[in-house]
Chains A and B, each alone.
Chain A
């Protein structure tokens, strides 16, 4: 069993330059009055506490996984293909400054800093189930805001049928991108109605703190009724399109990973069953549980796919 003693990862220790720049920032803020500090547009660094409210209504009652589990068991191939690789390698990612470019079928386009993106958004905590296509699952207390409230700011045109997201492509910060396991950069996408659904979340935090790099800092998507690979990490580009985005896993192995990737216990992966899953961190011999249609969110989202053959559009 993993040790329960909390360990400070080297990535969590504040490097001196950041430490001193904080002092400078603080001094500057004090000089220009305390109100400046209250409205500081600075984005907190990974691990710093966030201001948020808990959204009980959209949270599941299951016990969340431990912070250690959520931050050491990651699929983030940009930092290596083993589950432990991202937590060991992701400190090479620099999340500040960060900008996101917005493009395509929208009236408001351009490049926005992370501060711009977060402006006016009130953060909430939502405890969601997370189901990986590899048949394991977690329960995670994310902190973020609805994607819909970001999308509306860009005023997508009537031609916008899909939203496409792209992860950072930088061989120095993301050494895993040197290995051609996927067609880099990672691309994911949603249909407009999926993007506007109230459950679809833009995430900036975990357990009330700024998202650690290995979990997709500084900005990631969470679509709780879809397999985890849809929930793209470290987003640098948002594009509105009238054609279905060519998503990374779908391009890599189209017969194994569809565009929709809704959690569905009745449609198996060609090489393994999706009927059940193992909950990470659950006791020995009590970890396997049946997988629920749409990962347990069928009441909220099944109507989006009414009349669709979910076997064909897997």
Chain B
């Protein structure tokens, strides 16, 4: 098998199965199958677990680029779209559980929550921002958008910050877990910042060498 076949027939199906595993576990818990249980408040458990799973996939998506660079595995990029779509999927389930099972379809409360409660406002914003990314995740859209696709998908940095912030703000008092998420996100973003700086200075050096000696240095 060549690399393409290995990804198509082995790695991608494995990632797909792993992506569905949290959902399968939650469904088992909801129905009491296989000894799984969601505890005394299944609605909150579903809501929180879907939210955290979405954040996990978001961070995994952001971890693809550093991992492929650091381990020298450029093929890893082939898994990124699926990870990102799983993040979107769990965000949608998270929101659906909140709207249907928690608020019991009370749209007045939904409106009040989004308008009045900052942690819900930013969570909802993150959900809205994810929609164009999911919609433009196909090969066709990538081709059609060209360079603009990359600019658009930089939104994921904003979304990840909003998502972790949303988690941090809804916790009552014990912020240890959201702080771990914030730490991992900070590392992933810092990596990009450092890389961008390094790339910019390399470009500047190349420009000054190949171009005129008076070319302005880029920072």
Most chain A CB atoms below 10 A, which of B30, B40, B100, B173: B40
Which partner residue on chain A sits nearest B100 by CB separation?
Answer: A285
Q: Are A73 and B112 in contact (CB under 8 A)?
A: no
Within 8 A of B (CB), among A69-106: 69, 72-73, 77, 81, 83-84
Q: Are A1 and B32 in contact (CB under 8 A)?
A: yes
Q: Are A273 and B113 in contact (CB under 8 A)?
A: yes
Chain A residues whose C-beta falls within 8 Å of the C-beta of B30 in the assembled complex:
1
Q: Are A81 and B106 in contact (CB under 8 A)?
A: no
Q: How far is the CA of A189 from the CA of B113 in the complex (A)?
A: 32
Using A278-B102, A285-B101, A288-B103 as known contacts, say yes or no to A68 and B172 having CB atoms under 8 A apart.
no
Q: Are A285 and B104 in contact (CB under 8 A)?
A: yes
Using A3-B32, A181-B174, A271-B169 as known contacts, say yes or no to A287 and B104 having CB atoms under 8 A apart.
yes
> Is residue B74 within 8 Å, beta carbon to beta carbon, of the partner chain?
no
CB-CB contacts of A286-300 with B at 8 A, as 1s and 0s? 111000000000000
Q: Which of A1, A134, A253, A286 contacts B42 (CB 8 A)?
A: A1
Q: How far is the CA of A288 from the CA of B104 in the complex (A)?
A: 7
Using A252-B173, A285-B101 as known contacts, say yes or no to A84 and B39 having CB atoms under 8 A apart.
yes
Chain A residues whose C-beta falls within 8 Å of the C-beta of B125 in the assembled complex:
none
Q: Are A253 and B173 in contact (CB under 8 A)?
A: yes
Which partner residue on chain A sits nearest B169 by CB separation?
Answer: A271
Using A73-B41, A280-B41 as known contacts, say yes or no to A81 and B174 having CB atoms under 8 A apart.
yes
Which partner residue on chain B sits nearest A133 by CB separation?
Answer: B172
> Is residue B202 within 8 Å, beta carbon to beta carbon, of the partner chain?
no
Which partner residue on chain B sits nearest A84 by CB separation?
Answer: B39
> Is residue A184 within 8 Å, beta carbon to beta carbon, of the partner chain?
no
> Is residue A179 within 8 Å, beta carbon to beta carbon, of the partner chain?
yes
Using A1-B31, A1-B32, A278-B102 as known contacts, say yes or no to A83 and B174 having CB atoms under 8 A apart.
no
Using A2-B39, A73-B41, A281-B40 as known contacts, say yes or no to A271 and B173 having CB atoms under 8 A apart.
no
Q: Are A72 and B40 in contact (CB under 8 A)?
A: yes
Q: Are A276 and B40 in contact (CB under 8 A)?
A: no
> Is residue B109 within 8 Å, beta carbon to beta carbon, of the partner chain?
yes
Q: Which of A69, A77, A273 contacts B109 (CB 8 A)?
A: A273
Contacts between the two chains (Cβ within 8 Å), count? 71
Q: Are A3 and B37 in contact (CB under 8 A)?
A: yes
Chain A residues whose C-beta falls within 8 Å of the C-beta of B176 in the assembled complex:
179
CB distance from A178 to the nearest CB of B (A): 12
Within 8 A of A (CB), among B22-62: 30-32, 37-44
CB distance from B126 to the nearest CB of A (A): 17
CB distance from B102 to the nearest CB of A (A): 7
Which partner residue on chain A sits nearest B103 by CB separation?
Answer: A288
Q: Is the interface of B mostly helix, strand, loop or mixed?
A: helix
Q: How far is the CA of A138 from the CA of B145 in the complex (A)?
A: 54
CB distance from B131 to the nearest CB of A (A): 25
Q: How far is the CA of A273 from the CA of B176 in the complex (A)?
A: 24
Chain A residues whose C-beta falls within 8 Å of the C-beta of B173 in the assembled complex:
77, 81, 181-182, 252-253
Q: Are B40 and A280 in contact (CB under 8 A)?
A: yes
> Is residue A136 within 8 Å, beta carbon to beta carbon, of the partner chain?
yes
Within 8 A of B (CB), among A249-293: 252-253, 268, 271-273, 275-276, 278, 280-281, 284-288
In this complex, how many residues of chain B approach chain A with their Cβ under 8 Å: the count is 31
Q: How far is the CA of A232 from the CA of B165 in the complex (A)?
A: 31
Using A284-B101, A287-B104 as known contacts, say yes or no to A278 and B43 having CB atoms under 8 A apart.
yes
Which partner residue on chain B sits nearest A138 by CB separation?
Answer: B40
Which partner residue on chain A sits nearest B174 by CB separation?
Answer: A81
> Is residue B67 within 8 Å, beta carbon to beta carbon, of the partner chain?
no
Chain A residues whose C-beta falls within 8 Å of the C-beta of B174 in the assembled complex:
77, 81, 179, 181
Q: How far is the CA of A81 from the CA of B173 in the complex (A)?
A: 9
Chain B residues whose C-beta falls within 8 Å of the C-beta of A181 in the assembled complex:
173-174
Q: Are A271 and B170 in contact (CB under 8 A)?
A: yes
CB distance from A24 to the nearest CB of B (A): 38
Most chain B CB atoms below 10 A, which of A179, A253, A272, A275: A272
CB distance from A97 to the nearest CB of B (A): 32
Chain A residues whose C-beta falls within 8 Å of the C-beta of B103 in the assembled complex:
288
CB distance from A89 to the nearest CB of B (A): 14
Which partner residue on chain B sits nearest A182 by CB separation?
Answer: B173
Q: How far is the CA of A286 from the CA of B119 in the complex (A)?
A: 25
Q: Are B39 and A72 in contact (CB under 8 A)?
A: yes
Most chain B CB atoms below 10 A, which of A72, A181, A271: A271
Q: How far is the CA of A2 from the CA of B43 in the complex (A)?
A: 12
> Is residue B117 within 8 Å, beta carbon to beta carbon, of the partner chain?
yes
Q: Are A276 and B109 in contact (CB under 8 A)?
A: yes
Q: Which of B40, B44, B118 contacts A69 (CB 8 A)?
A: B40
Contacts A181-B174, A281-B40 supplied; 7 other A-B pairs, CB < 8 Å? A1-B30, A69-B40, A179-B176, A182-B173, A280-B40, A284-B101, A285-B105
Residue contacts A-B, CB under 8 angstroms, 5 given: A68-B40, A271-B169, A276-B109, A285-B101, A286-B104
Which 4 A/B pairs are nearest by Cβ-Cβ distance? A73-B40, A81-B174, A69-B40, A181-B174
